[in-house]
Structure 1
Amino acid sequence: MHFVKSIRLAIIAIAAASSAHAQSLPGGFVYLRDVDPSIIQDIRYATSSNFVGRPLAGYGAGECVVKREVGLRLRAVQHDLAAQQLSLKMFDCYRPARASLDMVRWSQNGRETPADRRYNPRIPKTELFRLGYIASHSQHSTGAALDLTLVDLKADNSAKIDPSKAYADCTAPVAERLPEGSVDMGTGYDCTDAMGHTAAPSITRDQRAWRKRLVAAMAKQGFVNYSKEWWHFSLPGAGGAAYDFPIQPRRN
């Protein structure tokens, strides 16, 4: 959910490609599946399993779209992890600018639901903008920022989200919170809480070790972690202008 306020927003409208051809993307952008199909994807903002509780504007498909350089470096990270029987799992990649504005509108709609509190257990949603968790401009919209985690390929990752179940909030023990089919990082994804800070002292030794392992794997390829969100990484110099083209299904 992290947003960089200083980034220059240049909304660029891109027409949808003809269904008879491969989905077109602006120059420099690629579908991650075309770079490395082994990287697991769980694009939460294309579903209702996120802090807003519905798909966000611009997410017409659950596809990770990134700048080509970002994709190539993710492939290198994945190659290193494969030797350890681990995999990356992508929660969010390129984010249309309209989705960031959708988040801002949600934070200001005057309603606070139990589903909202699942992701924001101690911070009222009206405070998320002031505290920097939500802003109108996102580095994700440049294609150079990512939200991700690690999957232990040796573990049972079969648990699925049950929409009818009342899960505990994102700081609860892993067995009680919304399943993510990944290693236990101490909180769920998009958890706006001090426990979500990468170096949070309140998590267990094993959880801290997993976070350090993720940060180290990403840092080897030049990615930088955001200290308040263990899942958020960016690649310095790979960004630029922000875009607003919608994410559409990838076509072969």
Structure 2
Amino acid sequence: MTRAAATYVEETGFGFWFLQSHIWQHHVLRVAINDLCGLIDSPPPAAPVLLDAGCGQGRSFRLLHEAFAPARLIGLDADPHSLDRSRAEAGHLGLDVELIASDCAEIRLPDACVDILFCHQTFHHLVEQEKALAEFWRVLKPGGLLLFAESTKFYIDTWVIRWLFRHPMEVQKSAEEYLAMLRGQGFQFAERNVSYPYLWWSRAKDFGLLERWGLVRPKPFGQRDETLVNVAARKPLETAAS
């Protein structure tokens, strides 16, 4: 099957199944979108053009439609099988979703045409991360909103995740490194626009069971390796290129 990106790292059969599961939609996607909405410090635009970069099988479409009521919803993915599932999901929901077979490092959209770019658990799959982030910057309008939710290398590089899923390990980053990359591109955000969720499924060594049973004490923020980072960042209204 032809991929839209030469650097695409194909997911495992288990991973493909998991991305259409109830756990993924309700315990991962829904929680992330709710958290990201809480990180936005000014009202998002009404009837926005919204791009889901790495839309997978379209399980985000209903949640994004409910949260932002986009006038135009675009789903982008490099895997044609996933896009087939996305097309079926949009039809099932009765939503008009424009689907693009494309790599995030080369988005087939004009400059400054997107109001909100949603990138959820996509970056750790990408080999050309810097190019992808530059493309996010390019397609976002000045003042546009980047909703970025990602797993860090401390989660991806655990035996459970390496056994069940497939990722390009050489590009994995810590929460701090992802934040530095966003700032380096020019995106603006403050502490109030960032969260570090410590969810049960992201504790890959034991999924939080030892803490739940009282056998170990949870490490407080600042004393643990963060496994997740969520950011609501903006492209400034005026940039060096404007």
TM-score by length of 2: 0.28
Bigger helix fraction = 2
TM-score by length of 1: 0.28
Higher relative contact order (CA 8 A, sep 6+): 1
